[in-house]
Amino acid sequence: MTPVLANLFQNAALLLAMMAVFDLVTGKKEVQGLWRRQLLAGVILG
């Protein structure tokens, strides 16, 4: 596998993982404790 193709797969996997974490953290529409979920998502994704 060429390095360019390997990097493309790695970037795609990283984006999918970030989407999954964001979706899990922000999935519920509860206003109370929203800042905690946003903080958690920022720490995990950052």
Cα–chain-centroid distance for residue 11? 12
Contact 25, 37 (CB under 8 A): yes
| Average pLDDT of the chain to the nearest whole number | 81
Question: Tens digit of pLDDT for each residue in 19-37?
Answer: 888 877 777 666 666 777 7
The confidence score (pLDDT) of residue 1 equals 73
Global pTM reads: 0.58
Residue 9 CB burial class (10 angstroms; 0-12, 13-18, ≥19): exposed
Which of 30, 28, 19, 26 has the alpha carbon at shortest distance from 40? 26
